[in-house]
């Protein structure tokens, strides 16, 4: 694997890759800013009926209006926030639960370890989207299902990673000396082990955030998550696709937003992963 990183792409140190990462990092930053703060600069109320239906792009409505006469630009500017925040919430919940399980499994072993491995096997026998859909059948559609479902999907993987990282540092000198000092398990896990596995966990969390965003977008598209009339990129694609021939911008604008956001997160994540694997090598 000398010249290859874990994705099997050669590490080209040439200008083209770095340049591309730089461009995509800027794009990602802009998209994140749009997602989080876009609603502040939206010219109209994103849920308000502000004009005629199906207006094509013009000076008053840069991206035109949708079937109900809502301003597409305002909806796009406001439509990323909830999905991004839900993805963050899901990953934060998953990391909190997963790290606790992983730390205990790695440090104590035994039953937690065995249960963890089996739980992971079971989850691997289920497409993530199907799992959240089944949960939605029980809990009913809504944002709670998105956070719970996406967290559940991620917990075993995070726990496994945390476990492996914990195993790596559990026998180091500083942990052993803490044991000799007579410190309790909780204190050792929090003060000695957690800070040392944190970089691994954080790098992994970035990749998981990208995955969580995509699952959440998919579920919103399916109508399981964020409910209309709330503005959301994926929901916009779903609600406007029947009118795509009348006013294509209602679909083009949110499609471009999801694509640009997803690609930039993926490429920046890939760049971080490459740098880390180079650092370790």
Binding residues for other proteins (CB under 8 A): 4, 7-10, 121-122, 125-130, 133-141, 210, 214, 217-218, 221-224, 234, 237-238, 241, 244-245, 248, 251-252, 255, 258-259, 262-263, 265-267, 270
Distance in angstroms (rounded) separating the CA atoms of residues 191 and 198: 11
Q: How far is the CB of 224 from other proteins (least distance, A)?
A: 6
| Nearer to other proteins among residue 16 and residue 171 (C-beta) | 16
Distance in angstroms (rounded) separating the CA atoms of residues 158 and 91: 10
3-class DSSP string for 117-141: HHHHHHHHCCCHHHHHHHHHHHHCC
| Nearer to other proteins among residue 197 and residue 265 (C-beta) | 265
* Secondary structure class of 10 (helix, strand, coil): strand
Q: Which of 144, 162, 141, 164 is nearest to 152 (CA)?
A: 144
Q: How far is the CB of 260 from other proteins (least distance, A)?
A: 10
Task: Provide CB contacts within 8 A for 173, sequence distance 6+.
Answer: none
Angle subtended by helix axes 143-170 and 128-139, to nearest 10 = 130
Q: How far is the CB of 223 from other proteins (least distance, A)?
A: 6
Q: How far is the CB of 6 from other proteins (least distance, A)?
A: 10
How far out from the chain centre does Cα 99 lie?
Answer: 17
Q: Which of 109, 141, 126 is nearest to 220 (CA)?
A: 141
| Nearer to other proteins among residue 84 and residue 237 (C-beta) | 237
| Nearer to other proteins among residue 67 and residue 255 (C-beta) | 255
Q: How far is the CB of 256 from other proteins (least distance, A)?
A: 9
Q: Which of 200, 227, 98 is nearest to 150 (CA)?
A: 98
Largest CA distance in the chain: 75
| Nearer to other proteins among residue 77 and residue 217 (C-beta) | 217
| Nearer to other proteins among residue 70 and residue 274 (C-beta) | 274
Q: How far is the CB of 251 from other proteins (least distance, A)?
A: 5
């Amino acid at each position: 694997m000398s010249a290859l990183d874990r994705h099997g792409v050669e590490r080209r140190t040439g200008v083209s890759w770095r340049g591309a990462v730089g461009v995509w990092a800027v794009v990602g930053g802009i998209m994140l800013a749009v997602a989080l703060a876009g609603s502040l600069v939206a010219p109209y109320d994103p849920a308000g009926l502000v004009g005629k239906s199906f207006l094509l792009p013009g000076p008053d409505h840069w991206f035109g209006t949708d079937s109900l006469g809502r301003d597409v630009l305002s909806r796009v500017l406001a439509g990323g926030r909830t999905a991004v925040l839900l993805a963050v919430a899901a990953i934060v919940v998953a990391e909190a639960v997963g790290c606790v399980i992983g730390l205990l499994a790695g440090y104590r072993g035994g039953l937690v370890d065995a249960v963890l491995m089996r739980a992971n096997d079971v989850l691997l026998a289920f497409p993530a989207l199907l799992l959240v859909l089944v949960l939605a059948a029980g809990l009913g559609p809504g944002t709670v299902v998105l956070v719970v479902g996406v967290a559940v999907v991620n917990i075993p993987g995070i726990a496994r990673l945390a476990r492996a990282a914990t195993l790596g540092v559990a026998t180091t000198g500083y942990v052993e000396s803490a044991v000799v000092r007579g410190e309790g398990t909780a204190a050792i896990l929090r003060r000695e082990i957690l800070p040392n596995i944190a970089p691994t966990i954080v790098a992994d969390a970035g990749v998981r955030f990208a995955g969580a965003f995509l699952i959440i977008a998919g579920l919103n598209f399916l109508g399981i998550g964020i409910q209309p009339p709330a503005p959301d990129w994926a929901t916009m694609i779903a609600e406007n696709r029947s009118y795509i021939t009348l006013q294509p911008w209602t679909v083009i604008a949110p499609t471009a937003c999801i694509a640009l956001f997803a690609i930039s997160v993926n490429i920046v994540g890939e760049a971080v992963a490459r740098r880390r694997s180079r650092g370790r090598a």
